[in-house]
């Protein structure tokens, strides 16, 4: 993987940042994308100071025009993109019947439409080169219903379905497309759900919540972002050379292997 180029969305924190760090450790030059320009600049500055080749591109992935321009710039400045990781995501919680139009539209704009925009822009460039690997970070909620997460679960299911369909179409060009589906992971997105519940909310994640028909985590701990990044790195790497259209769940057994 050394001396190749990767593009990662949601790179300013959480799983996206962990993926960037995993890639640069393998000698990959990374185009790091995020809507949070300030946080992205901090991450990129730190990695550059460590001697890695990373460039930050503030962008809203819900804008196809902006995405196309950034992908073009990244290839011009860093080289042909060999690896794409769709890790950008937003979470709007609430009862399905209480979600607003904005909750639904914004969730899909980033989690599903953003995956479409970025994957399309990158795959169009991979096809003539007849090589490349794409991984979309979805969620175990895409296949296991979760209380108060209807918009998020639906958007992640859409992203996963799109990625597998794309993978079917581009397989003849030697391009592999896979999905990683994390469960509860120690990121700001998860901890934001605990703002009111505190320790009780953490125990509910680990032990389950029968009143919400939710199982706990058999391994008894939250995933760290690096756990998910390791799975992403494997699917991008030559060690997964014959794996495509696959959905790899990384949730400590929370979805009982679904």
User: Six-digit token pair at 156?
Assistant: 């992640």
Strand order in the sheet with 175-182: 54-58, 29-34, 5-9, 81-86, 132-137, 175-182, 247-250
In angstroms, the Cα distances linking 43 to 13, 55, 109 are 8, 10, 24
Please tell me the distance from the alpha carbon of residue 209 to that of residue 245, in angstroms, as a whole number: 32
- SS3 at position 84: strand
Q: Is 83 noted as a catalytic residue in this protein?
A: no
Taking alpha carbons only, the member of 210, 202, 203, 200 closest to residue 186 is 202
Kindly give the residue spans of alpha helices, DSSP state H, lying in the chain. Answer: 14-25, 37-49, 64-78, 101-108, 114-129, 150-170, 188-191, 199-207, 225-236
Given 83, 108, 152, 162, the catalytic residue = 152
Please tell me the distance from the alpha carbon of residue 160 to that of residue 246, in angstroms, as a whole number: 10
- Provide the annotated active-site residues: 152
């Amino acid at each position: 993987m050394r001396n190749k180029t990767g593009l990662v969305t949601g790179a300013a924190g959480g799983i996206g940042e962990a993926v960037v760090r995993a890639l640069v450790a393998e000698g990959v030059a990374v185009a790091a994308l995020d809507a949070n320009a300030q946080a992205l600049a901090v991450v990129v500055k730190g990695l550059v100071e460590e001697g890695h080749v990373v460039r930050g591109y503030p962008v809203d992935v819900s804008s196809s025009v902006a995405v196309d321009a950034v992908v073009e710039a990244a290839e011009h400045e860093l080289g042909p993109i060999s690896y794409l990781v769709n890790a950008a995501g937003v979470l709007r919680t609430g009862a399905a019947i209480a979600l607003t139009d904005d909750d639904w539209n914004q969730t899909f704009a980033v989690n599903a439409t953003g995956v479409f925009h970025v994957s399309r822009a990158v795959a169009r460039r991979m096809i003539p080169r007849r090589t490349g690997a794409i991984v979309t970070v979805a969620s175990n909620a895409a296949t296991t219903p979760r209380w108060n997460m209807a918009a998020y679960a639906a958007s992640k299911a859409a992203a996963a379905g799109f990625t597998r369909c794309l993978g079917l179409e581009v397989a003849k060009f030697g391009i592999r497309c896979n999905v990683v589906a994390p469960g509860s992971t120690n990121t700001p997105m998860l901890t934001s759900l605990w703002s009111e519940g505190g320790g009780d909310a953490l125990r509910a994640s680990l032990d389950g919540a029968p009143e919400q028909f939710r199982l706990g985590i058999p391994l008894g701990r939250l995933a760290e972002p690096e756990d998910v990044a390791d799975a992403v790195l494997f699917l991008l790497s030559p060690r997964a050379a014959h794996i495509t259209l696959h959905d790899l769940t990384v949730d400590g057994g929370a979805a009982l292997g679904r």
